[in-house]
Structure 1
């Protein structure tokens, strides 16, 4: 019985250690991605790349709402963006009657170095690549 309790405690400690390591890695990734976003905002301003009022789409894709955030779309499907504040936004929101009139509220998401990682749709793109493509496209792309 005591042996089993020792084993369970060791297992709990191993799981906690693994979770802590994952979280530390995720935090380091977010810091690196945030630095890329800040650099993008600076470079976009230097190039005179205009920011736009971002729109968010409902999870089912049936409705689009304006938001109170200005920034730049990073993907042509307008699913992710970087705000003028340097924050990363995933532009999907729940359907809401209120949002139709007042606009959708966006909350910044923790940025990842690989956009779409863990999303399940199979489309993953390095964040740096999206940012560079957006800068290269300039004002010709909304």
Structure 2
């Protein structure tokens, strides 16, 4: 006979695994959207550009080694030529001002800005469509 603690532990593990599967599925869907977006940009002859990381709370930005396309007008999100998704907000740093900054890719979300203030979240598909229309 299993104890209620063991049953709770097992239920929690199953729930965590289900959430992980759902996140992996959403990430795969978002990556596909980004690949299609890049293909459309290339078809239209929109060339990638050097990407800069925006200093949070400032108009300053730092060099990166990345090349790609910005997804938002404020240049806070981008995709590189390989389809990697980047959040380009970084803290101020004297070293980064001189040497540039390394930004790590993130798993792309299906809803950008989820959990943010009202009006700041948007399905990734809509954001990409708007970017293609601009």
Give the TM-score taking structure 2 as reference length.
0.90
**SS of match in other structure, 1:10:** helix
1:28 shift after superposition: 0.3
Q: 1:107 aligns with which of 97, 104, 108?
A: 104
Distance in 1, Cα, partners of 2:71 & 2:16: 31
The answer to whether structure 1 residue 121 and structure 2 residue 104 are counterparts is no
* Structure with more helix by fraction: 1
1:13 shift after superposition: 0.8
1:97 shift after superposition: 2.0
Q: Which residue of 2 aligns with 1:14?
A: 11
CA RMSD, 1 decimal: 1.7
The answer to whether structure 1 residue 34 and structure 2 residue 25 are counterparts is no
| Structure 1 segments of 4+ aligned residues over 3 angstroms from their partners | 59-63
> Which residues in structure 2 correspond to 1:37-116 (within 5 Å)?
37-61=34-58, 63-116=60-113
1:62 shift after superposition: 6.0
1:77 shift after superposition: 1.5
Q: Which residue of 2 aligns with 1:132?
A: 129
Structure 1 unaligned segments of length 5 or more: list them: 138-142
1:106 shift after superposition: 1.0
